Structure 1
Amino acid sequence: MKVRVYKPAKNAMQSGQAATKHWVMEFEPGAKKVADQLMGWIGSTDTRGQVRMYFETLEEAQAFAAKHKLIADIEMPKPRKLQLKAYADNFAFKRVV
């Protein structure tokens, strides 16, 4: 059984990084999602798709996967590129030559 281990990205609408501290483990989809004929809801018979586990470190997630004989696909987080900006830069005089 395959699982995906990753560190979630920062929410683009917020400046905080609280949701990016833990590692997340999700199971790969095991069944196709189908639309309900009457209501139009999307559903599946695979209940593992609803499970999301959080770990403090990558090593804990790897140990859990090894203990339960899961194949872990690890996605390493990309480094952040900070662009330091100041409000005063909007009003700075820039000579055009």
Structure 2
Amino acid sequence: MPARIYQRPKNAMQSGKARTDEWVLEFEQSEARRPDPLMGWTGSGDTQAQVQLSFADVEAAKAYAQKHGITARIHATPPKTLKLQAYADNFR
């Protein structure tokens, strides 16, 4: 059962950076999603895809995956860059 480990991104709807230092282990889907014939909702019988485990650092997530025999890929966090602008730049 493959999984991926990544650092939680900043929420685009708020300016705060809460929970961005957490690392998440998330299982990949093992079967394709299909529409339910009665309700029309998309779903599958794979319950592992609903599991998300949070860890304080990447080493703890790797240790958990190795202990339980989970093959995990680690997605590195891209570096954060700031674009500094002044209000006066809007009128150039």
Using the size of structure 1 for normalisation, the TM-score is 0.85
Corresponding residue number in structure 2 for 1:84 = 84
Q: Is residue 9 of structure 1 aligned with residue 9 of structure 2?
A: yes
Aligned twin of 1:39: 39
How far 1:86 moved relative to its partner? Answer: 3.5
Q: Out of 40-49 and 7-16, give the one that drifted further.
A: 7-16
Q: 2 CA distance for matches of 1:67 and 1:77?
A: 24
Q: Which amino acid aligns with 2:31?
A: A
Structure 1: which amino acid aligns with 2:13?
Answer: M
Q: Find the counterpart in structure 1 of residue 30 from structure 2.
A: 30
How many residue pairs get matched? 92
Structure 2, gaps ≥5 residues long:
none
* Percent of residue pairs identical: 50
For the pair shown, the structure with the greater C-alpha radius of gyration is 1
Deviation at 1:90, TM superposition (A): 4.1
Determine helix, strand or coil for the equivalent of 1:26.
strand
Question: TM-score with structure 2 length normalisation?
Answer: 0.89
Q: In structure 2, what residue type is equivalent to 1:17? A: K
Following the alignment from structure 1 to structure 2, what is the Cα–Cα distance between the partners of residues 40 and 34? 9
In the TM superposition, 1:56-71 aligns within 5 A as 56-71=56-71
Structure 1 vs Structure 2 CA RMSD: 1.5
4+ residue runs over 3 A deviation: 86-91
Amino acid at match of 2:87: Y
